[in-house]
Amino acid sequence: MAALANFSRFSRLNRICAARAAAASSGMALVSGRLGDAGIDREDAIVLPLPMAAAAEALDMFDRFDAIDWNNYPSAWRTKKNAFFERLARHVDARCRRAAAAQAELEETTLLALASDEAHDVRKQLADNCDAVRRLDSALLCEIAAHDERLIESLAASLERITSEAQDDWLKAAAAGDAALLVEKAKALEACMRAAQAFKNAHETHPDPNVRERLMSALDFPTSARMNFLHMSGRIGTKPKEERWRFVEPDGCVYALAFMREACSEAGDGSGTDMLDAIDFGTNAPMVFLEVRQLGRFLRMVQALKVPDEFLVRFAASGCAELREAVADRKNLPQPVLDLLKRDASYDVRTALLGNDDALALLDETDVIEVLAGDPLLLREAFEYASPSGRIKRVLHKAFDDSDDPGAREILAALDAED
């Protein structure tokens, strides 16, 4: 019994420590405001300090959802983005460094810092990052691998991918008949193959037979027949255009992750409007802009995060239905947000609102009928597997008792049968 009591106490202490860690400030914040020449204008900006757990979830989006195509990232913001990841690569929390290791176009100093990171998962993320692997020499690649079989296999796979891409680029240059470009691509291909061969040679006597086999298969480069197939199939694409519209709302608002000059003792508490002095809004300040659609994913991942009303109102007025739908799922929505969402043109947003019992309790009869908009399929979508309160059932009857749709009558009958 004593051992069981000690185990229970140990588990409770672990949970308390975990909760404290989740509540600790990350030194980062979500910032929103209208876009100016230098970035976000300070005049109408709002700030949401992020606890460490929420910041880690936000950073995890970059890799988990392949959230930003850096080829499309506006060039005017790249200095701020590079400064952000340079600082992130030296963050005390390994989750932040791992997020930095997944990004393309990292500065050389950032790459060097990550290549020598003590955390295995940080180096694993860097090993899976083809853009980073392409820019590191074979000695640094061996340092990243550190004789670990998982890291060796990840680096071998990345080397295979970048070499295949270099071969594709060489074929495209040959087909175009551009002599200067052909020389450039041939040098790039030679550099890739040389790095891959050096990495392979460094591990050819590795004691693990699985590693040796993986190296042989991964670095067995494409044959001429496959290269010709890639050329004929036109698989080589062109660089996409910058797509600033992914980041900017119709009213000109943007969202970004930024570092705070001074970490808050209780991040996420309060409106955040008094935190403007803690954010650097300068031209080259460390800041990475988020695509608007990412905010919906972020809100779903951090359901427990207290989000100030001013942020929720801005989210609810967003042009992105995915973000508005995520807002409609949250508890304790303020009245201005409900007023926006109940009139939303998006079917999915109104479905989410009808599935939110907390929100339904705050909507009056007229509001609920307005959300339903006389749509029997929305009635089925929202309430076929739900158990609404007696008040909501009465509202549904008022909205659909006169409907000619047999599906609507079927749902009402099924709800009545639960009583």
Q: How many CA atoms lie within 13 A of 276 on its CB side?
A: 11
The pLDDT assigned to 240 comes to 52
Q: How far is CA 190 from CA 159, 215, 224, 229, 327, in A?
A: 13, 19, 16, 21, 51
Q: Alpha-carbon distance 312 to 330, whole Å?
A: 10
Q: Decide if 383 contacts 396 (C-beta within 8 A).
A: yes
Task: Please choose, from the candidates 108, 94, 97, 87, the residue with its C-alpha nearest in 3D space to the C-alpha of residue 285.
Answer: 87
Residue found by looking up tokens 């909760």 in the block: 19
At 61, which amino acid appears? M
**207, burial (CB in 10 Å: exposed 0-12, middle 13-18, buried 19+):** exposed
Q: Tell me, what's the pLDDT at 419?
A: 65
Q: In the prediction, which pLDDT does 25 show?
A: 74
For residue 243, the model assigns a pLDDT of: 75
Phi, psi for 260 (deg, rounded to 5): -100, 145
Q: Compute the distance between CA of residue 317 and CA of residue 311 in angstroms, rounded to an integer.
A: 10
Task: Write the Ramachandran bin of 364: left for phi over 0, alpha for psi from -120 to 50, otherwise beta.
Answer: beta
| CA angle, 142 then 145 then 146, to 5° | 90
At residue 188, the pLDDT reads 87
Cα–Cα separations (whole angstroms), residue 202 to 147, 191, 192, 312: 10, 17, 16, 54
Phi/psi of residue 31, each to 5°? -120, 135
CA separation for the pair 294, 377 (Å, rounded) = 29
Q: Which residues in the chain land under pLDDT 70?
A: 1-24, 63-69, 219-242, 262-274, 419
The helix-helix angle for 78-88 and 108-115 (nearest 10°) equals 20
364, 395 Cβ separation under 8 angstroms = no
